Structure 1
Amino acid sequence: MRTRTLLLLTTLLALVVSGCGAPAASPDNGVQPSVDVVSALAKDETIAALLPEATRQAGVVKFGSSVGGQPPSSYYAEDNKTVLGQDIDIAEAVGKVLGVRIEREVASFEAILPALTSGKYEVGTGNFGVTEARLKTIDFVTYINDGQGFAIRKDDDRFQKVENLLQLCGLKIGVGAGTTFEATLEREKHICPDAGKPAYEVLTFSENAAIYLGLQQRHFDVIMSTINGLRHAAANQPNLKFLNEFKRLDVGFAFKKGSPLTPAFQAAVNKLIKDGTYQRILDKWGTTASALPESKISPPEHA
């Protein structure tokens, strides 16, 4: 199955490069990428004092970041070098409050959490949802509420909502590799055979572009991805329909378990919430419905 998925990914990405894929989403539709909501922020000495001494002296925090293909979470600007998005703005705002520079390395989504535990990165971003499985090895400082949703082609009228995974029996589902979507679907994969129905098939991809293209090319039937990402994609891509929210999850900065950075990051996010910067960032990226009232360290997964 893994080999088949990788072969399909290679084919789909070749189509993207050759110009045969679906039209790219316009980053100006529904978001305001040019609005500056960060540069005027100043260091808060009291909050910065919560950082470990070594971090204060270095003045740098090493990030591993997953960058998708479209707003609102994170994506590349038209120069294919500059990274934009909600995750980026919140991280830069936190850096300003803490008086540190964000040293960012772009990495694949599935590689970031293991790299935190190995010490390669100090912080991970990539719309990482807080789950009980991840909490065993990862700490989180939450900054947004997003979660799991579904999308299909507009010309597919088989269903209007996915309220139970039994609706997906016999279908092929495209997801990102290493995500909560893949974990949820694989964990519950038994439900269709248990009900006497054909199992659904999970196809994993490392690139968002390949997921959307695969759906339009009818290589699979349904996408399971982030609520905010699917809403934006459906508003910008032809023949794509957002179905519904399936499960909400808090999203946060990811750290290795027991990281001494978490209290400072939590305090910085809460300052941004209190002073209105947080609201301005969410307004910029069209995600105000995902606002959190406060940042927490490693809260339990939503039921």
Structure 2
Amino acid sequence: MTASSTRRATAAHHRLAAVGAIAVAGTLILTGCGDQTKKDNSSSSAAASSAPLASKLPTSIRDKGVIRVGSDIAYAPVEFKDSAGKVVGIDPDLAAAMGKQLGVKFQFQNGTFDALLTGIRSDRYDIAMSAMTDNKNRQEGVDPDTGKKVGEGVDFVDYLTAGVSIYTRKGDTKGIASWSDLCGKKLAVERGTVSEDLAKSEAKKCPSGKKLTIEAFDDDQQSQTRLRSGGADAASSDFPVAAYAVKTSGGGKDFQVVGAQVEAAPYGIAVSKENTQLRDALQAAMNAIIKSGEYQKILDKWGAEDGAVKESVINGGK
């Protein structure tokens, strides 16, 4: 999800982690029976010792064997729960591949998208990996609505490129083919995302008597439900998510993408600016799986190959 602040001009998805504390919706925690401290520590040490990039991690994380990942796990195909309740998708698969390089497990914890960066600041998470668009506002801790600095910002390890799309009910486009066609219409979006930012920007351009009504929801699934039921004329999300919804919802009979992607921008793994060692270790792991070909196989699996990058960079968003 591209987090707020221009997500696509070629499409820049993306959910914007809004400033302000919002309670985390839920957390997936690792549990076990009995005292497994010795077992867990020995397992972590064994995994780390055999991993090629383990030495790049901060000692505290390497010893613990776990990287805590804040993620809004309702954004298929990037991250979501399958019918068995397992967390799956592009981000979990990439994280698992990186974990083999680093000798650690990536533990995904569910939270509302616009509270993920707050979770890093409060040490709830080590990183945020949630289809989050890397942009200057997030890097600098600036509120996109006010232009004022509200936090220290984060660094991003970029790993995919995506843009923002609009989609409607299939066969019922309401004449919508671009953002400028939304005036006088009702649009469903996920709160705190680039889609919401773009909608707010477009609403300011609408003529008198043709107001763009924006309905913002906690997650993308709620936005899709609103559109499916006829409560909105269109919805917007990152292109990979919109394309997946079009392909899978109602067996492909519910939705259709209209117009082209806009504001293409990189997805990034968000890391505290104080944790440069973890940031650099993640970049090294991402570049290792890109070089090995495992990265491409994962994107192909989820139909996201068009967003592939040749190299992971730090803070490549504009």
TM-score by length of 2: 0.75
Shift of the 95–45 alpha-carbon distance from structure 1 to 2, 3 Å rule, reads closer
Q: Which aligned pairs between 1:8-157 and structure 2 lie closer than 5 A?
A: 45=51, 47-68=53-74, 71-79=76-84, 81-136=85-140, 137-157=153-173
Contact 2:160 2:309 in 1 (8 A): yes
Residue 279 of structure 1 corresponds to 296
Aligned-pair distance for 1:209?
A: 2.6
State whether structure 2 residue 246 is matched by structure 1 residue 241: no
Residue 204 of structure 2 corresponds to 190
State whether structure 2 residue 310 is matched by structure 1 residue 293: yes
Q: Which runs of 5+ in 1 are unaligned?
A: 1-40
**What is the DSSP-based 3-state SS (H/G/I as helix, E as strand, rest coil) of the residue aligned with 1:91?**
helix
The alignment covers a number of residue pairs equal to 255
Paired residue type of 1:204: A
Match of 1:231 among 238, 243, 252: 243
Aligned-pair distance for 1:44?
A: 7.0
Paired residue type of 1:88: P
Aligned-pair distance for 1:46?
A: 5.2
**What is the DSSP-based 3-state SS (H/G/I as helix, E as strand, rest coil) of the residue aligned with 1:299?**
coil
Deviations 1:63-114 (A, max 9, x none): 1121116x321111112x2111111000111111111122221112122111
Q: Which runs of 5+ in 2 are unaligned?
A: 1-46, 141-152
Paired residue type of 1:75: F
Shift of the 112–206 alpha-carbon distance from structure 1 to 2, 3 Å rule, reads same
Contact 2:265 2:317 in 1 (8 A): no
Paired residue type of 1:185: A
**What is the DSSP-based 3-state SS (H/G/I as helix, E as strand, rest coil) of the residue aligned with 1:130?**
coil
Deviations 1:150-190 (A, max 9, x none): 1011222433631xx33211111110111111122224431
Q: Separation in 2 of the partners of 1:123 and 1:215?
A: 32
Q: Separation in 2 of the partners of 1:42 and 1:99?
A: 4
Match of 1:206 among 193, 197, 218: 218
Shift of the 128–117 alpha-carbon distance from structure 1 to 2, 3 Å rule, reads same
Spell out structure 1 runs of 4+ moving beyond 6 A. Answer: 41-44
Q: Separation in 1 of the partners of 2:49 and 2:309?
A: 23
Q: CA RMSD in A?
A: 2.0
Of all paired residues, the percent bearing the same amino acid is 29
Deviations 1:231-257 (A, max 9, x none): 111122223111131221210211123
Residue 219 of structure 1 corresponds to 231
State whether structure 2 residue 194 is matched by structure 1 residue 173: no
Paired residue type of 2:307: S
Q: Separation in 2 of the partners of 1:44 and 1:145?
A: 32
**What is the DSSP-based 3-state SS (H/G/I as helix, E as strand, rest coil) of the residue aligned with 2:134?**
coil
Q: Separation in 2 of the partners of 1:132 and 1:185?
A: 19
